[in-house]
Structure 1
């Protein structure tokens, strides 16, 4: 990685960590140790997007998560936390990008538009914020005995663009049952790769551990698409992924394409699954931690 590329990568990380602060060209060029006269041209040339547009994408991704999944947060606080002094200017910009006012989005998000809106940012991160060889080398993969875990799972079936809607419904149910993520582990079960199956066939579970809770009582509280399941006991290779989900597939591929052939292990008949250690937007995307479990015999 060249010196310029490393400096621009540092800028991307800085933006993630300071969405509520001044992110002007002057500020960001100082982070990159480059003249403002050259910084914005280098940024646009490297990423095919202006630094202003990139900051906007990051801010509205974070803001939309807060609006959709954190109903207790006031719109004015969301605006202030994303660099806007006036809620009116935030509302105008949000509607211009997301097609809905913040209040309308909170009430009934247009999930397909939301999904499409995030793709340019996802593609940029997937291309330019990949782990370095040094970072990959530091990531430990170990084999463990995973204990049987009872879960309540929201079964998302169909269009990946509508996962946000399923997450929101699951969070509402979970909150009502007082299954706090701080007390009950959060899992995803990955049955399919969204790019390798037809939209209608895509399957993805969003789940919470329920060990220690009255299962009969929870069974009576279940709503559409939420079912009781078990992640079975067994050996797993586990790897911790650091950072955004935009690069999660790279870590998964490392398990399948590099570690598995070299390990001599055989796969077990249960899908790949994840455990979420923390959550965006409570933490910055570069501080996210996700454990990837590959079931083996």
Structure 2
């Protein structure tokens, strides 16, 4: 029974991966159901029952998330071009949908993004993407490594996660100005000093880091020098690029750690994102790994 369930989940996960990788294609119900090898007559209900939203809604949200990121980080693209790529026939229709979802026009969001409604709007998308994360991990997915220490430039975020987008914007702007963006081959890291959703939102705490041994001068962005300590770590590679690593962290703490006989070290759990520039691949692969420091 467990094997059959895992196979079913793997087929559904394959559907999400396919959609995310083919947002520019015609993602009709028949095409998507064939990816999972399910009957198109039942697939819609299966998808809704599994993920809590329809295929059409998932595709809409995924395209809108991509569009909003392009607005925030790519000034070279026009709003019209972004609207068309998001599946809208006219910029006006895109603008209405955008304002309804985020409370801002696309041009206003581009100038000064309000990240709190942005995070809330994509809750259903994040929930769908992480539906099976607690199930697909096994102990074989975890390796123990001796990790060398890494000097970093870092910015601290302290306070409500709804304001995290502003900190991320400052971090990215500084990295871009210093030539330390991920596109240059640099690793970006996040040190999680609190739960993703603490009981008191004001207690949310994390550090955004980028690997560099350069001296860090005083700056308006709040960047400073830091160090990710070396030592033994349990490492779990996350299957896909995501902004919610809570399921993976939960697996490490709840399942892997008690069975391993290991003890944690006095440093928070952290993740590392890096680009793997593989030959003959149209887009670089994002590798996400979660590190649990061990004694």
TM-score range, shorter chain: 0.7 to 0.9
Count of paired positions: 285
How far off its partner does 1:239 sit?
Answer: 2.0
Q: Does structure 1 conserve the Cα–Cα contact (< 8 Å) formed by 2:145 and 2:234?
A: yes
Change (3 A) 1:52 1:235: same
Partner of 1:245: 242
How far off its partner does 1:283 sit?
Answer: 6.1
Distance 1:89 1:40 in 2: 26
Distance 1:6 1:188 in 2: 28
Partner of 1:152: 153
Q: Does structure 2 conserve the Cα–Cα contact (< 8 Å) formed by 1:158 and 1:200?
A: yes
Partner of 2:294: 296
Q: Does structure 2 conserve the Cα–Cα contact (< 8 Å) formed by 1:25 and 1:40?
A: yes
How far off its partner does 1:244 sit?
Answer: 4.2
The answer to which structure, 1 or 2, has the higher relative contact order (CA under 8 A, 6+ apart) is 1
Structure 2 segments unaligned to the other structure (5+ residues)? 277-281
Partner of 1:12: 16
Partner of 2:226: 229
CA RMSD of aligned residues (A): 2.8
Secondary structure, aligned partner of 1:219: coil
Change (3 A) 1:251 1:283: farther
Partner of 2:210: 208
Please, which of 267, 271, 275 is the counterpart of residue 268 of structure 2? 271
Secondary structure, aligned partner of 2:57: helix
Q: Which digits, 9 at most, give the CA deviation of each residue in 1:163-188, with x for residues without a partner?
A: 12211111011111111323322111
Partner of 2:201: 199
Q: 1:116 aligned to 2:116?
A: no
Q: Does structure 2 conserve the Cα–Cα contact (< 8 Å) formed by 1:21 and 1:83?
A: no
Q: Which digits, 9 at most, give the CA deviation of each residue in 1:7-43, with x for residues without a partner?
A: 5443322211111111123432443445544333433
Partner of 1:165: 166
How far off its partner does 1:196 sit?
Answer: 3.2
Distance 1:42 1:144 in 2: 40
Change (3 A) 1:89 1:237: same
Please, which of 187, 190, 210 is the counterpart of residue 188 of structure 1? 190
Q: Does structure 1 conserve the Cα–Cα contact (< 8 Å) formed by 2:147 and 2:233?
A: yes
Partner of 1:54: 58
TM score, norm. by length of structure 2? 0.84
Q: Does structure 2 conserve the Cα–Cα contact (< 8 Å) formed by 1:69 and 1:171?
A: no
Distance 2:256 2:42 in 1: 42
Partner of 2:73: 69
Aligned ranges for residues 75-86 of structure 1 at < 5 Å?
A: 75-86=79-90
Q: Does structure 1 conserve the Cα–Cα contact (< 8 Å) formed by 2:185 and 2:274?
A: no
Q: Does structure 1 conserve the Cα–Cα contact (< 8 Å) formed by 2:47 and 2:54?
A: yes
Q: Which digits, 9 at most, give the CA deviation of each residue in 1:245-269, with x for residues without a partner?
A: 3662222222222332333332221
Aligned ranges for residues 123-142 of structure 1 at < 5 Å?
A: 123-127=127-131, 129-130=132-133, 132-133=135-136, 136=138, 138-139=140-141, 141-142=142-143
Structure 1 segments unaligned to the other structure (5+ residues)? none
Distance 1:257 1:47 in 2: 24
Distance 2:232 2:155 in 1: 25
